[in-house]
Amino acid sequence: MTATTLTFDAVSEAAPGPKWSARWRRSWPAYEAWFVARGGDLGPSRPKCRSALRRYMPELLPVYDRLVHLAGGSDRAARFLSTWCPPQYLGGCSLAAMADGDDVRLVRNYDLSPDLNEGLLMRTEWTGRPVMGMVEFLWGLSDGINDAGLSVALAYGGRSITATGFGITTILRYVLETCFTVDDAMKVFRRVPSHMAYNVVLADRSGRTASIELSPGGGVKLMPLAIATNHQSGAERPERAGFTRTFERHAHLQQLATAPQCLSTHFLKTPLHQDRYAEGFGTLFAAEYDPVEKSMSLIWPAQRWDQSLNAFREGRRVIDYSDGQAIQIVRKTTDTPVTRPDWSLAHQIDWSAVAREYAAGRGQAIEAYLPNRRGADPDEVCRWQYQMQPKNLPFLRS
């Protein structure tokens, strides 16, 4: 039976220690069962797994050794954590990156069953640099950002065949631990093989964006637009295309015209937002990354959780999907956010709209009309902002 709630935790731990160990103890039993059932014990030996890490991602080797130690040091744990030639795993996502001057955003929807996501947002400094992102396989990342502003997110490429390579989440971790720009990351993706077909979208603080297709066992194809869903170019039809609606979502992203700072609002609407939680395919969260501010937000239709590398706050959110919607279950948390209006943007207020709303008896506090006001209706904000943009603003081409 599919779970109807998912707990999201924000955790900060500079070096692997007791917080990571607690997460390992909580999550390893389920991961171990999955690993064994999918034939993980038949994969490469522990020495071969470590040798592959040393060859392709040597900077991660001290972190890997520390994690294996914290995990108890068993052969199975060591092989699992290496993610070298792991069992296949799938998922559904929509990705897009846009830039317009110093307004840069990367946004992703994570579409899956609530049973199959860790719900862990973690800030680390495992190799000495700050990295923040959504954790998978207990140390890899499905999306994230580093202190250089480099942002990256992945989507399943639609084919379940496997080849010799690493799990993609470990590659994303490596990219954010070692790279500064999109161009740096491209060199890594060309050098380090992925074990399955994946699509990756990237953005950096300079406004450079890119979308690439990774082939099983190695190979990178640069795409013309910084968007991706769950299929790749070519004649081969993706698996479950009708169920995931990957072509419909991709076509929608292709024609989308909006300002970068408004991009996330489109990910909360159909066809990008999925509500089939009972079928194991619902949008668990949207994540918006701002490479310039080095910040990110987890977003649901009626809730957002803002974080930044420089002001990360630990906390918890419990999201209920039982009614086909993502609704926060209100519980006391220790991370009460403090939001203050940015009055430097008062000159951008649409005072004609303010007058119309007051005349109609719907007037709000003036701060609600600030363009970047978190509490403002995002659709209204973005409609106003889009009027200030060129017609049919395209995704920045790579």
The dihedral formed by the CA atoms of 186, 192, 194 and 198, expressed in degrees to the nearest 10: 0
The dihedral formed by the CA atoms of 1, 303, 19 and 51, expressed in degrees to the nearest 10: 70
- Number of structural domains (the chain) is 1
The pair of structure tokens assigned to 213 is 């297709």
pLDDT at 325: 72
Q: Tell me the CATH number at 222.
A: 3.60.60.10
| Cβ pair 136, 169 in contact under 8 A | yes
pLDDT at 336: 42
- On whether residue 382 sits in a domain, the answer given is no
Q: Domain residues for 180?
A: 5-15+89-339
Four-residue CA torsion sign, 325, 23, 180, 164: negative
- On whether residue 191 sits in a domain, the answer given is yes
CA dist 256 and 224 (Å) reads 15
pLDDT at 5: 93
HEC letters along the chain: CCCCEEEEEEEECCCCCHHHHHHHHHHHHHHHHHHHHCCHHHCCCHHHHHHHHHHHCHHHHHHHHHHHHHCCCCHHHHHHHHCECCCCCCCEEEEEEEEECCEEEEEEEEEECHHHCCCEEEEECCCCCCEEEEEECCCEEEEEEECCCCEEEEEECCCCCCCCCECHHHHHHHHHHHCCCHHHHHHHHHHCCECCCEEEEEECCCCCEEEEEECECCCEEECCCCEECCCCCCCCCCCCHHHHCHHHHHHHHHHCCCCHHHHHHHCCCCCCCCEEHHHCEEEEEEEEEECCCCEEEEEECCEEEEEECCCCCCEEEEEECCCCCCEEECCCCCCCCCCCCCHHHHHHCCHHHHHHHHHCCCCCCHHHHCCCCCCCCHHHHHHHHHHCCCCCCCCCCC
- On whether residue 279 sits in a domain, the answer given is yes
pLDDT at 363: 62
User: Half-sphere exposure of residue 361, counting CA atoms within 13 Å on the CB side?
Assistant: 0
Per-residue pLDDT of the chain (398 residues), as tens digits, is 567 899 999 999 999 999 999 999 999 999 999 999 999 999 999 999 999 999 999 999 999 999 999 999 999 999 999 999 999 887 789 999 999 999 999 999 999 988 889 999 999 999 999 999 999 999 999 999 999 999 999 999 999 999 999 999 999 999 999 999 999 999 999 999 999 999 999 999 999 999 999 999 999 999 999 999 999 998 788 988 999 999 999 999 999 999 999 999 999 999 999 999 988 889 999 999 999 999 999 999 989 999 999 999 999 999 999 877 777 775 545 554 434 456 556 656 776 776 666 566 666 666 666 775 444 455 555 654 544 444 343 343 33
pLDDT at 384: 47
- On whether residue 107 sits in a domain, the answer given is yes
- On whether residue 253 sits in a domain, the answer given is yes
- On whether residue 67 sits in a domain, the answer given is no
| Cβ pair 69, 99 in contact under 8 A | no
* Cβ atoms within 10 Å, residue 204: 28
CA dist 57 and 53 (Å) reads 5
pLDDT at 361: 61
The helix-helix angle for 61-70 and 18-37 (nearest 10°) equals: 90
- On whether residue 158 sits in a domain, the answer given is yes
- On whether residue 387 sits in a domain, the answer given is no
